[in-house]
Amino acid sequence: MPKTVFRTLPADGESLFNTEEKLFPEIMAKPGQKAFVFIHTVPFEGSVLLVNLLTSTRLVRKGFQVNIILYGPGVLAASGTRGYPGVGQGAFPGHLAINEQLKTLMREGATVYACRFAMGALYGFGEDDLIPGVVPFSPLDVLDSALTAWTEGAFQLNTWTL
Question: What's the pLDDT tens digit per position in 8-48?
Answer: 899 999 999 998 999 999 999 999 999 999 999 988 888 89
49-94 tens-digit pLDDT: 999 999 999 999 999 999 999 999 999 999 999 999 999 999 999 9
Residue 2's pLDDT band, with cuts at 50, 70 and 90, is: confident
What is the arithmetic mean of pLDDT over 1-5? Answer: 85
pTM (predicted TM-score)? 0.90
Q: Which helix (H) or strand (E) holds 72?
A: none
What is the C-alpha to C-alpha distance for residues 83 and 111, in angstroms, rounded to an integer?
Answer: 23
86-124 tens-digit pLDDT: 999 999 999 999 999 999 999 999 999 999 999 999 999
Look at residue 155 in the predicted model and tell me its pLDDT.
97
Look at residue 46 in the predicted model and tell me its pLDDT.
81
How many whole angstroms from its chain centre is CA 118?
A: 17
What is the C-alpha to C-alpha distance for residues 97 and 103, in angstroms, rounded to an integer?
Answer: 10
Residue 162's pLDDT band, with cuts at 50, 70 and 90, is: confident
What is the C-alpha to C-alpha distance for residues 50 and 60, in angstroms, rounded to an integer?
Answer: 15
Look at residue 27 in the predicted model and tell me its pLDDT.
95
Look at residue 7 in the predicted model and tell me its pLDDT.
86
What is the C-alpha to C-alpha distance for residues 55 and 37, in angstroms, rounded to an integer?
Answer: 9
Look at residue 3 in the predicted model and tell me its pLDDT.
82
* Domains with residue ranges and CATH for the chain: 34-160 (3.40.1260.10)
Q: Which helix (H) or strand (E) holds 90?
A: none
